[in-house]
């Protein structure tokens, strides 16, 4: 894995993005630019972003709305978000901090101050890791299993495992992921039952069904065979 941090700059004004990009690249960062909130969220699918500089005032999808979407998948320690705002937008900053923003800078941006805040957040950042899986009944949203399935929410639990709503990162659609208990993974009857459930789920035709389900070992987060 590269030691170079990737900063995502989100601003609907190209001049602002280009200025920040040039200065950040001079400091050794890799920079991605997004002109809208929706474009910003697409960059998060590959998991390469280390920190987001996010403008508050944007059309269609505001910075606060983007922040809310980010926090549904990543904690503040996994993916820091620094909001960029005009000095007069104090109410927005109070709301942003309440929604999980790590910090903020004001316009016009004092770059040395912004750089210091970026570096401070990167020093305490703790990226999610596949090997941090412990209890399959209590996995955190944002955890990526097998490099492909990002957990979004817990749906329910049973004797053999726990079902989570997840996003298949390669296919970009919602799936149901079933994480089996360690004891179930070593039980041939439990594995056979799980496979039958998976086949049945894939055959169901329902507008709200999810695409598929997989089993995973809680020790590794990898699909079982």
What CATH class does 6-124 carry? alpha beta
Across residues 161-172, what is the average pLDDT?
82
Q: Residue 213 has what pLDDT?
A: 42
Residue-wise pLDDT tens digits, 77-131 = 889 999 998 866 778 888 889 989 999 999 999 999 999 999 999 998 876 554 4
Query: What are φ and ψ of residue 14, in 5° steps?
Result: -65, -35
| Torsion-angle region of 54 (φ positive above 0: left; ψ -120 to 50: alpha; else: beta) | beta
pLDDT band (50, 70, 90) for residue 156 = confident
What are the start-end ranges of the H helices in the chain?
Answer: 14-26, 37-43, 63-73, 90-98, 111-124, 182-185, 188-203
Q: Which of the four CATH numbers 3.40.50.1820, 3.30.200.20, 2.40.50.140, 2.60.40.1180 does domain 130-216 have?
A: 3.30.200.20
Domain residue ranges in the chain: 6-124, 130-216
DSSP per-residue codes, 76-95 = TTTS-EEEEEETT-HHHHHH
Q: Residue 220 has what pLDDT?
A: 36
Return d(Cα 80, Cα 119) in angstroms, integer: 11
Q: Do domains 6-124 and 130-216 have the same CATH topology?
A: no
- In our burial notation (b when 16+ CB lie closer than 10 A, e otherwise), range 169-193 reads beeeeebbbbbbbeebbeeeebbee
**pTM, 2 dp:** 0.59
Return d(Cα 129, Cα 133) in angstroms, integer: 8
Across residues 148-164, what is the average pLDDT?
78
Return d(Cα 9, Cα 89) in angstroms, integer: 19
Across residues 137-161, what is the average pLDDT?
75
Return d(Cα 142, Cα 140) in angstroms, integer: 6
Residue-wise pLDDT tens digits, 183-208 = 554 555 665 666 666 656 555 554 44
């Amino acid at each position: 894995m590269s030691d170079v941090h990737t900063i995502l700059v989100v601003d609907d004004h190209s001049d602002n993005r280009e200025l920040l990009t040039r200065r950040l690249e001079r400091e050794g960062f890799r920079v991605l630019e997004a002109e809208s909130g929706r474009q910003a969220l697409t960059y998060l699918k590959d998991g390469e972003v280390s920190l987001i500089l996010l403008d508050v005032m944007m059309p269609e999808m505001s910075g606060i709305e983007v922040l809310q979407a980010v926090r549904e998948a990543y904690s503040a320690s996994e993916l820091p978000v620094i909001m960029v705002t005009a000095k007069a937008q104090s109410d927005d900053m109070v709301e942003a901090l309440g929604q999980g923003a790590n910090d903020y800078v004001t316009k016009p941006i004092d770059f040395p101050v912004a750089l210091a805040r970026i570096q401070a957040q990167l020093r305490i950042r703790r990226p999610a890791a596949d090997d941090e899986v412990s209890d399959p009944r209590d996995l955190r949203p944002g955890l990526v299993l097998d490099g492909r399935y990002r957990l979004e929410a817990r749906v329910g639990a049973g004797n053999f495992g726990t079902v989570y709503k997840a996003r298949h990162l390669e296919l970009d659609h919602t799936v149901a992921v079933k994480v089996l208990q360690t004891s179930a993974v070593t039980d041939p009857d439990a594995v056979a039952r799980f496979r039958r459930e998976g086949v049945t789920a894939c055959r169901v035709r329902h507008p709200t069904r999810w695409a598929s389900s997989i089993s995973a070992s809680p020790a590794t987060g990898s699909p079982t065979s």
